[in-house]
Amino acid sequence: MPVEGGSSSGSASAARHPKQKRKAHSLSIRRTNSIEDRPPGFQRGEMLEGQDSKLPPSLRNNLLDLFGQIEREFETLYIENLELRREIDSMNERLTGDGQTIEGGDPSKGAMKTKGTIVSSFKTTAGSRAVCQLLKEYVGHRDGIWDLGVTRNPPVVLGTASADHSALLWSIETGKCLLRYAGHAGSVNSIKFHPTEQMALTASGDQTAHIWRYMVQLPVLPPPPDVSAPCDDDQDSSDREEGEVDAEGPCEVPTVRVATATLKSHQGVVIAADWLVGGRQVVTASWDRAANLYEVETSELVHALTGHDQELTHCCTHPTQRLVVTSSRDTTFRLWDFRDPSIHSVNVFQGHTDTVTSAVFTVGDNVVSGSDDRTVKVWDLKNMRSPIATIRTDSAVNRISVSANQRIIALPHDNRQVRLFDMSGVRLARLPRSNRMGHRRMVCCTAWNEENQSCNLFTLHLKKVPDKNVQLLAE
């Protein structure tokens, strides 16, 4: 989880601050419980009784539980690996007669050699799971990347938020860094782009959110290489097209250091922020247990959205309606309704048993929530008493994203995997996880780029010190 000072090795819990007294509109609260029963607890007993050890029994039981979890993880990976090998062998057998083979079918042979942020593609065929392939990597941050986003209007660029106190804008096609925002004094934990204007909204561990303008010019794509040219020249040209930069960070890129507006009413880390429909207001979520609604033009605090019992983890706005959803470590997520100017209501949903890491709207009438309890739930806004679909996984789920065009859910996991599901909970694909084509540490975020009806998925991951790479997928 992002930390206040920008260092990923810091404590994940924020210091408790006294709540700031503000005048805010009263909210009518309706509490909604999921009809799904929580899994019953279990008692382990004295399984190690009789063995000589100087460790306290509680510590020994905790170790035993951890080892059991590790064993189950390895068993799941082993079974999935066997299934994948059988699928590859079967497909190769069917294609051998046509003189074809599956690219990358032999795990012992290298596939694509790239650096930095990764891009891969997937295509869905009827009756089968999607095929994923690595396309590109982007390198430039000096510390781990927490969040990423894609602009909704031209020029279409990728934005990344990092623990190195900066946000970077990238050319998607070339991988070149176009601009650097360096106005924050702490880790940049979130980045969102204005729906119509060239403005970005970033949230930071310095307890503020910034709105800043950018002007970028996309690089001209080089002409296709001359197939008659020598191989060495072709390789040099290919290296340039990848937009590789030095591992220490982007060199000689334009830098913006001053924000157009600074939102600073929080008393803790601002973990996420988003634009309301129309782009005239923004909402921020903080570790001080509150979400704040601001006017963009005046930077004025409009509402303090309080009620969560623990730190907030994420916030998201509806693409077409004045609705906001916030998620928290208190195992709940809340739906805030601002459609009626005279009545502002909130619904509380308790469908998870652990931290709700994110909850997002779809273009329809659905909310998708993910949790550290290893489940993802799909809810219908018209009847949110119980989820319409539940996806159970083998690892904690981080910030999820949903494709608007194809309504595909991308789930980034602590165990380095990224899985794709449809809205009914059917798994469509799993991204490659080898060191050559996948992430090497936990995947913390995903984002979709759906320009020109194509379907590209960016993913990023963390190391113990958060990783500095991002991955892209295309359909």
Peptide bond into 466 cis (omega under 30): no
Q: Residue type at 297?
A: E
pLDDT per residue as tens digits for the range 177-190 = 999 999 999 999 99
pLDDT band at 63 (very low <50, low <70, confident <90, very high): confident
Over 60: is that where the pLDDT of 203 sits? Answer: yes
Domains of the chain: 28-35+115-474 (2.130.10.10)
Helix (H, G, I), strand (E, B) or coil at 32: strand
Over 60: is that where the pLDDT of 19 sits? Answer: no
Over 60: is that where the pLDDT of 20 sits? Answer: no
Over 60: is that where the pLDDT of 159 sits? Answer: yes
Higher pLDDT, 39 or 206: 206
Task: Report, as an integer, the average pLDDT of 236-240.
Answer: 38
Surface-to-core class of residue 39, CB atoms within 10 Å of its CB (0-12 exposed, 13-18 middle, 19+ buried): exposed
Q: Which of 9-13, 68-72, 378-382 has the highest mean predicted lDDT (pLDDT)? A: 378-382
pLDDT band at 318 (very low <50, low <70, confident <90, very high): very high
Locate the DSSP E strands across 287-407: 291-295, 301-305, 312-317, 323-328, 333-340, 343-349, 356-361, 366-371, 375-380, 389-392, 401-402
Phi then psi dihedrals of residue 149, to 5 deg = -155, 165
| Per-residue pLDDT, 271 | 97
425: which 2 tokens? 């909970």
| Per-residue pLDDT, 204 | 96
Nearest to 348 by CA among 375, 322, 328, 363: 328
Are 474 and 124 contacting, i.e. CB atoms less than 8 angstroms apart?
Answer: no
| Per-residue pLDDT, 202 | 98
Higher pLDDT, 450 or 212: 212
pLDDT above 70 coverage of the chain, percent: 67
| Per-residue pLDDT, 345 | 82
Average pLDDT, the chain: 77
| Per-residue pLDDT, 218 | 87
pLDDT band at 160 (very low <50, low <70, confident <90, very high): very high
| Per-residue pLDDT, 173 | 87
Over 60: is that where the pLDDT of 136 sits? Answer: yes
| Per-residue pLDDT, 171 | 92
pLDDT per residue as tens digits for the range 115-125 = 334 454 555 54
Over 50: is that where the pLDDT of 108 sits? Answer: no
For the entire predicted model, the pTM comes to 0.69
